[in-house]
Structure 1
Amino acid sequence: MESKRAASVGRPRGFDVDEALERAVLVFWAQGYEGASLDDLTAAMGITRTSMYRAFGNKEDLFRKALERYTEGPASYFARALGRATAREVAAACLGGAVRSTTQPDCPAGCLGVQGSLAAGGAGRQARDILTAWREEGAVHLRHRFQRAVDEGDLPADADPGLLARYLMTVANGIAVQAAGGTARDELQLVADMALRNWPLDGS
């Protein structure tokens, strides 16, 4: 009996977990948290609800994992941008990355992290809070990076790192919303370029 039970527990899943999660990302990205039903998710993932619960937990757990995968994939430009040499290069990489990631031809338009729960009701409150925290974490990283730029003289001494971070996040989020509405990549890049014209000169 014990050996049979151990074999059952140790039996490999009949699906690729990473591939199933990638498909879940696309469903949440296209339909948002509340718009993505369990039937939509399991059909796209090619698994049963039971398999989904066993591998990923409930819908909220799956959404968290999907957001992590999205952060490591389509939104990974943000982490790379933080490592650029100057604050202006950081800003340009953030906005350029936002334009490209929200207008990929083989992916849903817009940004999972921005639109995933914009119209969420009570059932989507937790997802909305998860995404609010996700966006706020991005703003904090930018603020710290811009504070370093001030300290190093890359930004003027009177520059406000927090305000610059909020400005950049607001423009990037707006780009995502416009992309979801069908605005073309070239036009969105012009918006990004215009925003950078208001970037403060260096501290020299």
Structure 2
Amino acid sequence: MPRGRKRMFDEDAALQTAMELFWRQGYEGTSIADITQALGIQPPSLYAAFGSKRELFEKALDRYMARPTADLREAMARPTAREVALHLLTSRVEAFIAPGLPRGCMTVRAGLACGEAHSDVVDLLAAVREETRKTVLERFEKAVADGDLPAGTDCGALARCLMATIYGLSVEAASGAPREELLAAATFAAQLVPAG
């Protein structure tokens, strides 16, 4: 059986480039031509390596989510709900302004301008964000059970507020807000979580 030709590009580097394009330009704003031009390859090579544009996007999103998932895991291990919030907020700010990468959050930016034809991408990104919210909600509920948060705390509202703040900071970061101001806002927002 003849062996296939060796790929003439680095798939890992290609995935990183595609991730940054989707992150910067959004799903709808990134064409196959944009990706192949950035990689210096032809569309058949791209399709052979990654499948369709949607499949490539999902792989790029998985790659992107590695850091937020690690940040979330570290935040959830903090001993108090307020420390959970502070770690999550400040670590996301640092990720939103990381040098050499697009600013803001890919799960927000990649789907903002999608039309009806790509509502499935919007739904995918919303589902990823919802998983994070559920994790935060469960941690706050545990904090109530442990006596770290007051009985009767509306954990749903608190988790939603925290997530809204994170994604607001993402938009501010993408708009060029300075690191010091973003971190100050994150620290201020963490104070909304009652101290244990």
Sort the TM-score into its range (normalised by shorter chain): over 0.9
Distance in 2, matches of 1:75 and 1:185, equals 22
Paired residue type of 2:58: R
CA contact (8 A) 1:91 1:168 kept: yes
Aligned length: 196
Partner of residue 9 from structure 2, selected from 6, 15, 20: 15
Distance in 2, matches of 1:109 and 1:199, equals 26
Alignment of 1:1-204 (within 5 A): 3-4=1-2, 7-8=3-4, 11-73=5-67, 76-202=70-196
Q: TM-score, normalised by structure 1?
A: 0.89
What RMSD in Å do the two structures reach over aligned CA positions?
Answer: 1.6
Distance in 2, matches of 1:130 and 1:172, equals 18
CA contact (8 A) 2:68 2:92 kept: no
Distance in 2, matches of 1:26 and 1:115, equals 11
Q: TM-score, normalised by structure 2?
A: 0.93
**Where in structure 2 are there 5+ consecutive unaligned residues?**
none
CA contact (8 A) 1:34 1:123 kept: no
**Where in structure 1 are there 5+ consecutive unaligned residues?**
none
2:27 match: secondary structure: helix
In the TM superposition, residue 43 of structure 1 has moved relative to its aligned partner by 2.1
Distance in 2, matches of 1:74 and 1:18, equals 19
Distance in 1, matches of 2:16 and 2:8, equals 16
CA contact (8 A) 1:86 1:154 kept: yes
In the TM superposition, residue 75 of structure 1 has moved relative to its aligned partner by 5.8
Kindly name which structure, 1 or 2, has the bigger radius of gyration based on alpha carbons. Answer: 1
Distance in 2, matches of 1:73 and 1:94, equals 12
In the TM superposition, residue 124 of structure 1 has moved relative to its aligned partner by 2.6
Distance in 2, matches of 1:91 and 1:74, equals 14
Paired residue type of 1:99: V
Question: Larger relative contact order (C-alpha < 8 A, sep ≥ 6)?
Answer: 2
In the TM superposition, residue 81 of structure 1 has moved relative to its aligned partner by 1.5
Moved segments of 4+, more than 6 Å = none
